[in-house]
């Protein structure tokens, strides 16, 4: 059985069924995979993670870990390790005592557990911190201690709940890189919850996009970005998000970077549009054009992102000929908002 964690028909309701935090989720992770649960606040991603951890009891459905049904089991029987958003380090214990705690709880012999702590601390580069108390650590150091505490148990799966959200923006980029390298070194299956799509794209082997307690799409970052399963994913992923233009019962979608001046795309099967630019932003070398597009359906506000390599002169307040390559267009049913077959334009 290659799936480390499998959830089946999982439903979790709160307040006597009034709130459906998880609304029928089926999901399986593969061995050694980095699966990211991505969604806006309140979409149920943290509840899903907590249910896998055993901190929440599902209303219906099952959780399987390593081939065993653990649905009714307490967290400690599940061979999991979790890093909390707050890190939840024990404030009255030293770093060493924090890391050794799970091993003592597992009644490991002292020489063995000292060796384990040493190994984990070395891996995360926190040997010099072992004697300190959590309040004497910086945010990044705390995160590493929390990881070390999770690591020493050699769990079947790591569960990480927005572990980067408490770090400042500069530290977050390096911490993200460290997390990824760490996971590749350990090779342990990881489920990672975040609302930050950059984190999800950068870290995930696969991304599960959640909304309103349901999985909208599971796939490789490229898949989720290029071939969104529905308009929610199309709008949620990408910054700026995918443009959607209504036409004859379908929504025609195209990414901002595929809407380009006609003179910048000389060849290929092009769909011609008219873009009336009313505002322009210059962001890290790219030009973001805000305006109204016509020629596809009713006039719709869209965004175009011109990379630095496209140098066509554009002035706000003017209208220009723009094109999208036909194979870049995505089609969604206007009623169900799911992907549909292309329609002739």
Partner 1 sequence: MSSVSAGADPGAVTAVEVTEAPTTGSPAAAPRKRLADREGALAWIFLMPSVAYIIVLVGVPFALAIGFAFSDVTAGDPSFDWVGLRNFRRAFDDPVFWQSLTNTVIFTGVSMVLIVLLGKVLANILIANFRGKWLVRFVVLLPWTTPVALSSIAWLWMLDSIFSPIDWVLREVGLLGEQGALLGSGSNMYWLGKPGLAMASVIAVHVWRITPLAAVIMMAGLVAIPRDMEEAAQVDGAGYWRRMVEITIPLVLPVAAVAALFGVVFTFTDFAVVDVLTRGGPNNSTQVLTSWAFFRGIEGGDIGQGAATALFIFPILLAAAIAILRAVRRMDVR
Residues that bind partner 1 (CB under 8 A): 53-55, 74-76, 80-82, 84-86, 88, 90-92, 101-102, 105-106, 133, 135, 149, 153, 278-280, 316-317
From residue 28, how far is each of 21, 195, 214 by CA, in Å?
19, 20, 14
* Of residues 75 and 202, the one with the C-beta less far from partner 1: 75
Minimum separation from the CB atom of position 245 to partner 1 (A): 21
Q: Which of 215, 302, 178 is nearest to 22 (CA)?
A: 215
* Of residues 135 and 335, the one with the C-beta less far from partner 1: 135
Rg (CA), the chain: 24
- Residues 145, 120: Cα–Cα separation, whole Å: 9
Minimum separation from the CB atom of position 34 to partner 1 (A): 19
- Residues 158, 252: Cα–Cα separation, whole Å: 39
Cα 153 to the center of its chain, rounded Å? 25
- Residues 210, 233: Cα–Cα separation, whole Å: 9
Minimum separation from the CB atom of position 49 to partner 1 (A): 11
* Of residues 16 and 335, the one with the C-beta less far from partner 1: 16
DSSP string, 256-306: GGG-EEGGG--SSSEEEEEEEEEEEEEETTEEEEEEEEESSSS-EEEEEEE
Minimum separation from the CB atom of position 151 to partner 1 (A): 12
The counts of H helices and E strands in the chain are 8, 18
* Of residues 101 and 182, the one with the C-beta less far from partner 1: 101
* Of residues 90 and 119, the one with the C-beta less far from partner 1: 90
Minimum separation from the CB atom of position 250 to partner 1 (A): 30
Minimum separation from the CB atom of position 312 to partner 1 (A): 17
Helix, strand, coil % in the chain, rounded to nearest 5: 30, 35, 35
Minimum separation from the CB atom of position 160 to partner 1 (A): 12
* Of residues 82 and 218, the one with the C-beta less far from partner 1: 82
SS3 159: strand
Query: What is residue 338's DSSP assignment?
Result: B
* Of residues 103 and 233, the one with the C-beta less far from partner 1: 103
């Amino acid at each position: 059985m290659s799936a480390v964690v499998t959830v089946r028909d999982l439903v979790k309701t709160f307040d006597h069924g009034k709130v459906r935090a998880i609304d029928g989720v089926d999901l399986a992770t593969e061995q050694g995979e980095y699966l990211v649960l991505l969604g806006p606040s309140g979409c149920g991603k943290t509840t899903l993670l907590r249910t896998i951890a055993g901190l929440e009891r599902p209303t219906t459905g099952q959780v399987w870990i390593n081939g065993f049904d653990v649905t009714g089991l307490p967290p400690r029987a599940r061979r999991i390790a979790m890093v909390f958003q707050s890190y939840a380090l024990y404030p009255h214990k030293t770093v060493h005592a924090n890391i050794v705690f799970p091993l003592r709880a597992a009644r490991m012999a002292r020489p063995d557990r000292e060796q384990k702590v040493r190994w984990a601390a070395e891996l995360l580069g926190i040997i010099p911190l072992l004697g300190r108390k959590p309040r004497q650590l910086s945010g990044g150091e705390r995160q590493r201690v929390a990881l070390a505490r999770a690591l020493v148990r050699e769990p079947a799966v790591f569960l990480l709940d927005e572990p980067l959200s408490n770090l400042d923006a500069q530290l977050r980029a390096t911490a993200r890189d460290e997390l990824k390298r760490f996971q590749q070194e350990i090779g342990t299956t990881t489920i990672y919850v975040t609302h930050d799509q950059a984190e999800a794209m950068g870290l995930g082997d696969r991304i599960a996009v959640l909304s309103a307690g349901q999985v909208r799409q599971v796939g490789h970052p490229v898949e989720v970005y290029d071939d969104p399963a529905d308009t929610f994913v199309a709008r949620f992923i990408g910054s700026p998000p995918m443009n959607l233009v209504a036409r004859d019962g379908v929504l025609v979608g195209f990414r901002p970077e595929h809407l380009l001046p006609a003179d910048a795309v000389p060849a290929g099967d092009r769909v011609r549009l008219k873009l009336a630019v009313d505002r322009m932003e210059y962001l890290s070398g790219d030009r973001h054009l805000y305006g109204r597009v016509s020629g596809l359906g009713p006039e719709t506000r869209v965004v175009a992102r011109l990379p630095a390599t496209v140098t066509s002169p554009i002035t706000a307040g003017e209208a220009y000929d723009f094109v999208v390559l036909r194979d870049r267009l995505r089609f969604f049913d206007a009623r169900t908002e799911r992907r549909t077959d292309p329609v002739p334009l």
